[in-house]
């Protein structure tokens, strides 16, 4: 995949869609294009968050550990960004990410990702919106799980 193609694909990622093509080419140039086989783990929960990823082709599974073992919490596909939360908060990975099938992803170093946000307020605003959206979805899931637990407890009583 050449630099121009990578930049054009990055333009399809919502947070990068307003950036100039020259900035996207620079981002593509300073990032690493990685390929993964189905089932291959990109990173595990607890790992240091040293990069964010953009899916160019394929899908990944978000895997979380539960008392009953690993559970696939969600699936992400082309043009989606992941791993950014750990980079922004400088905290360990909260979930394991595994390639669903063959995967091509652009690995953006934490340093480059933070520099991109610092120099491009429109991209930073998009990241804040996406993270807010994730927070709302997580809150909704949490409330739903609490409700299920209360219902199960009332059935047992």
Domain CATH code at residue 113: 2.60.120.10
Residue 22 CB burial class (10 angstroms; 0-12, 13-18, ≥19): exposed
Give the per-residue pLDDT at 103. 97
Which of 70, 117, 120 has its CA nearest to residue 89? 117
User: In the chain, how many domains are there?
Assistant: 1
Residue 17 predicted with pLDDT over 90 = no
Could you tell me the residue range of the domain that residue 139 belongs to? 3-156
Q: How far is Cα 149 from Cα 151, in angstroms, rounded to an integer?
A: 5
Region 21-46: mean pLDDT is 94
The kind and range of the H/E element at 31 are none
In sequence order, which ranges of the chain are alpha helices (DSSP H)? 3-11, 21-30, 84-89, 110-119, 121-156
């Amino acid at each position: 995949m050449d630099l121009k193609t990578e930049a054009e694909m990055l333009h399809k990622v919502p947070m990068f869609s307003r950036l100039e093509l020259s900035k996207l080419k620079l981002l593509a140039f300073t990032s690493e294009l990685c390929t993964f086989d189905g089932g291959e783990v990109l990173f595990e929960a607890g790992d240091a968050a040293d990069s964010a990823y953009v899916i160019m082709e394929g899908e990944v599974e978000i895997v979380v550990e539960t008392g009953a073992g690993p559970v696939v919490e969600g699936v992400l596909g082309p043009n989606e960004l992941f791993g950014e939360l750990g980079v922004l908060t400088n905290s360990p990975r909260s979930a394991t990410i595994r390639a669903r099938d063959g995967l091509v992803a652009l690995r953006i170093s934490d340093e480059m990702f933070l520099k991109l946000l610092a120099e491009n307020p429109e991209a930073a605003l998009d990241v804040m919106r996406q993270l807010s959206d994730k927070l709302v979805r997580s809150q909704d899931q949490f409330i739903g799980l609490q409700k299920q637990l209360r219902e199960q407890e009332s059935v047992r009583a």
